[in-house]
Structure 1
Amino acid sequence: MSYDFNLFVIGGGSGGIATARRAAQYGAKVGVAEFSRLGGTCVNRGCIPKKLMVYSSHFPEVFEEAQGYGWSPVQSTLDWHKMIEAVQKELERLNGVYLRMLDNSEVQLFRGYAKFVDPHTLEIFESPNSSTASHKVSADKILIAVGGHPVTPNIPGIEHAIISDDMFLLKEQPKRVVILGGGYIGVEFACIMHGLGSEVTQIIRKEKILRGFDDDIRTQIQEGMQQHGVRILEGSVPTAIEKTGDGLKVTVCGKHEETVIGDIFLAATGRKPNLQNLGLDKAGVDLCQDAIAVDEYSRTSQPHIYAVGDCTDRINLTPVAINEGRAFADTEFGGKSRVMSYENVPSAVFSTPEAATVGLTEAQAREKHGDAVKVYRARFRPLYHTLTGREERVIVKLVVDETTDKVLGAHMVGASAAEIIQGVAIAVKMGAKKADFDATVGIHPSTSEEFVTLR
């Protein structure tokens, strides 16, 4: 049977675009449907604008710390509008880059929402509410790369809340910010907004932030945030949000029984795959707990339909989606069969203090290897802060299987943690042993040298 495309990709995010370009390089005729800006969540509503705001939030502490090194005090104020405008301008530039990449790869872009008519056919609508399709296309293979969206809890008054997408479009800087959620999104925005000068209250249901991370990491970040001035109401939940003349009144129950007033209420309580209005039932694509079910080759219940990225709810990280998509393209169009490995995937939390990790947490390692696990840990004041006067602490940690001497996990809290762990992750991925770390000469004086001097 003849089709319009060898591959059609639903979603122009990082994973979808990477897949489309790789398949096109192998000679496939490829189409992509995207209703919004190219680049998806990462470029437009996540990684990139968030990291730019992280950079901005660090300048006040740098101005203050410089005095310990002999610099005179700096009087500076944030122009919120200029910052937001600069961030949006950079996102526009990146969208242009993505568009040029598709054009250079001869990938045909369709602006609109794609919806299945049958397993090989899609209709494309200008908006989700359109009743008439602008295009109808068929494809031999179809890739679903539609990402995810923030979800909000069912709380009276939740209509007054905003989600993480909205944080990059606020017209004015809120003086008082209330954040619900102890995951990395809530934690990062709490640190960003506090650094930019807002008063921040974070409400978390558990006693510690960042469930799933190593306990030492969770404790160090939480203590660091509180030391910097973020107010964390642990073991608590909001039960109502009310709009008043003084702002949003949030009623909090649990360990903390009180009322908190904020100018905005950010609900950072998780994300779900973007599967609405896709017509997956007409395509015969099965789901697993609200996500698209796939095998190790990213293949769905239909052998010619695939899915990558957050809509599969495996590891929701941009580089993972890109790698999944390229593995699919290599396998199906490049004659190079391979699968994505989900072991030892590094990740970071761009909080203040920053954290990064790769491999097993101490708890995971002990559950898997029992008493064979040995932990090497150092907690210290970095050289930089010996003159700033700040009581900042860094943690570096290796989790090792004593039976084999293999490093099972590496974790860090401190400045440039992500940059440092990225290099350490190569060693962990290659199966490095503690002896390999010990045999490596450190770069002195640096924080990273602690990883090769742990005893």
Structure 2
Amino acid sequence: MADDTYDYDLFVIGAGSGGVRASRIAAGYGARVAVAEEHRVGGTCVIRGCVPKKMLVYGAHFAEDLEDAKNFGWTIDNPKFDWSVLRDNVLKDVDRLNGAYTDTLKNNEVEIILDRAVLTGPHEITLGSGKVVTAKHILIATGARPHVPQCPGNELGITSNEAFHLEALPPRILIAGGGYIANEFAGIFNEFGSKVTIINRSDQLLRGYDESLRDRLLQISVMKGIDFRFNAEFKAIEQTEDGCLKVSMTNHEDLVVDCVLFATGRVPNTEGLGLDKAGVELGQHGEIVVDRFSKTSVDHIYAVGDVTGRVQLTPVAIREGQAFADTLFGGKPTAVDHSCIPSAVFSHPPLAGVGMTEGQARNKFGSIKVYESDFRPMKNVLAGRNERSLYKMVCAEGSGKILGIHMIGPESAEIMQAAAVAVKAGLTKEQFDQTVAIHPTMAEELVLLR
């Protein structure tokens, strides 16, 4: 396989989830592989994204669990929360994962180059050190970064990257955005005792998720004490004499807070990589345009993960990295199917979905069948908590084929993973009905829908 014309058979720029998987699999096929990473091995998900965030979500759940424990017979006197303990333990585990990912690459004989890499020729890469190397194939897996809205004083705010490193919890925090990152951090900080306000430039949360679930999350979030300001865009952020932040916005009064967190989407990391010199085509949002096999407009240059703007989810990047390596070095042409991808929002409570929403199904098919279960989980009943869960199944008229499943409630993401297999396999409502329930569980509602 080795081509002595080049220093490497594959040079990967970016050691996140997609880049690491592609590097490891390609090396396993016998390719000479190097991966360049200017930050830390592991990428957004492991270092400053879904993994540390989920640990904060776990920590936040204890706020309600400790309160609910009283009705289950537990006496817990004067519970206290120490942000620095959770923060430091989370960052310690991030270090562990960074080491594990590094070891994985080394064990597969992938050369790790901790430096910036830029394309400076058709097959040429120049490192930050000035060293020039060549590769027969190049994979761009540089991910994406948080978008920061343009307004005077925006440098006073933080993004999700910095949220994991806060010295102390802000008493009052303004979170900008209506997507999953905004709602997840809203739930986290609210449970930790911060006064949370979400502002969003539109009047909708979580576009792309089923409307019933979005409405339910909004109702529950308001009930938990989170404030919302819709149709609001930043005018300016100013620092006051006492160190607070005064935020002015459209359609609403000014607000004084201690921290502003931008959660307004993510931008593909394509700037300064030399892609224009290499002739790589970019889309209107700066994403790398690729075909179904992750090939760019240049035959020997590929891209996977968030930098392509296809689906910005870690498991998708991993699948794309695997498929790329199998196709190019394993002799097994593989294209990732980006349809029917399950996803979740780790809000309080979490919501999850797979397949078409009710609105999408009606727009496409017109006549459909929708089954719902609106119930109060058993644990909430005994705890005296009025919070209700909602499960929804969208089916084709006549055949009963399941087009989508959507749910909000405790452990929704855990339940959805198994349900997504059924939707992907094209199962019907009747087949769910024929499955015996596991009682008492929340998941049994999926086979009892009427």
Matched, 1:408 2:399: no
**Counterpart of 1:401 in structure 2: which amino acid?**
A
Matched, 1:19 2:5: no
Greater shift, 225-234 or 91-100, is seen at: 225-234
**Counterpart of 1:250 in structure 2: which amino acid?**
V
Deviation, structure 1 residue 46:
0.5
Deviation, structure 1 residue 197:
1.1
2-side partners of 1:251 and 1:419: how far apart?
40
Deviation, structure 1 residue 103:
0.7
Q: Is the 8 A contact 1:6 1:30 kept in 2?
A: yes
Task: Select 1:267's aligned residue among 262, 266, 269.
Answer: 262
* Deviation readout 1:391-424 (Å, 9 max, x if unpaired): 1110111010013211010011000000000000
2-side partners of 1:181 and 1:245: how far apart?
27
Task: Select 1:102's aligned residue among 84, 101, 105.
Answer: 105
Tell me what 1:63 maps to.
66
Tell me what 2:413 maps to.
418
1-side partners of 2:122 and 2:87: how far apart?
42
Matched, 1:6 2:9: yes
Is the partner of 1:207 in helix, strand or coil? coil
Tell me what 2:341 maps to.
345
Deviation, structure 1 residue 212:
1.4
- Tell me the TM-score normalised to structure 2 length: 0.97
Q: How does 1:197-208 map to 2 (within 5 A)?
A: 197-208=193-204
**Counterpart of 2:191 in structure 1: which amino acid?**
G
Tell me what 2:283 maps to.
288
Is the partner of 1:292 in helix, strand or coil? coil
Is the partner of 1:123 in helix, strand or coil? strand
Is the partner of 1:37 in helix, strand or coil? coil
Q: How does 1:4-403 map to 2 (within 5 A)?
A: 4-126=7-129, 133=130, 135-246=131-242, 247-254=244-251, 257-289=252-284, 290-371=286-367, 373-403=368-398
2-side partners of 1:442 and 1:83: how far apart?
38
Is the partner of 1:49 in helix, strand or coil? helix
Deviation, structure 1 residue 210:
0.7
Is the partner of 1:118 in helix, strand or coil? coil
Is the partner of 2:158 in helix, strand or coil? coil
Q: Is the 8 A contact 1:64 1:74 kept in 2?
A: no
Percentage identity across paired residues of the two chains: 49
Q: Is the 8 A contact 1:14 1:39 kept in 2?
A: yes
Tell me what 2:430 maps to.
435
2-side partners of 1:31 and 1:404: how far apart?
51
- Tell me the TM-score normalised to structure 1 length: 0.96
Is the partner of 1:260 in helix, strand or coil? strand
2-side partners of 1:73 and 1:112: how far apart?
50
2-side partners of 1:295 and 1:352: how far apart?
37
Deviation, structure 1 residue 236:
2.4
1-side partners of 2:69 and 2:87: how far apart?
26
* Deviation readout 1:197-217 (Å, 9 max, x if unpaired): 111111122223111111011
Deviation, structure 1 residue 75:
1.5
Q: Is the 8 A contact 1:3 1:140 kept in 2?
A: yes
Is the partner of 1:236 in helix, strand or coil? coil
Deviation, structure 1 residue 142:
0.7
Tell me what 1:130 maps to.
none
2-side partners of 1:209 and 1:262: how far apart?
22
- How many residues get paired? 445
Tell me what 1:129 maps to.
none
Deviation, structure 1 residue 238:
3.0
**Counterpart of 2:430 in structure 1: which amino acid?**
A
**Counterpart of 1:410 in structure 2: which amino acid?**
I
**Counterpart of 1:103 in structure 2: which amino acid?**
K
2-side partners of 1:49 and 1:175: how far apart?
21
2-side partners of 1:31 and 1:74: how far apart?
55
Is the partner of 2:127 in helix, strand or coil? strand
1-side partners of 2:332 and 2:409: how far apart?
40
Q: Root-mean-square deviation (CA), in Å? A: 1.1
Deviation, structure 1 residue 73:
4.1
Q: Is the 8 A contact 1:117 1:279 kept in 2?
A: yes
1-side partners of 2:91 and 2:418: how far apart?
31
Q: Is the 8 A contact 1:11 1:144 kept in 2?
A: yes
**Counterpart of 2:431 in structure 1: which amino acid?**
D
Deviation, structure 1 residue 261:
1.3
**Counterpart of 1:179 in structure 2: which amino acid?**
I
Is the partner of 1:442 in helix, strand or coil? coil
**Counterpart of 2:231 in structure 1: which amino acid?**
G
2-side partners of 1:73 and 1:261: how far apart?
35
1-side partners of 2:422 and 2:405: how far apart?
10
* Deviation readout 1:7-49 (Å, 9 max, x if unpaired): 1110000100000001111111111000111110001110011
> Unpaired segments of 5 or more residues in structure 2?
none
1-side partners of 2:152 and 2:128: how far apart?
34
**Counterpart of 2:428 in structure 1: which amino acid?**
K
2-side partners of 1:311 and 1:330: how far apart?
20
Q: Is the 8 A contact 1:208 1:222 kept in 2?
A: no
Q: Is the 8 A contact 1:354 1:417 kept in 2?
A: yes
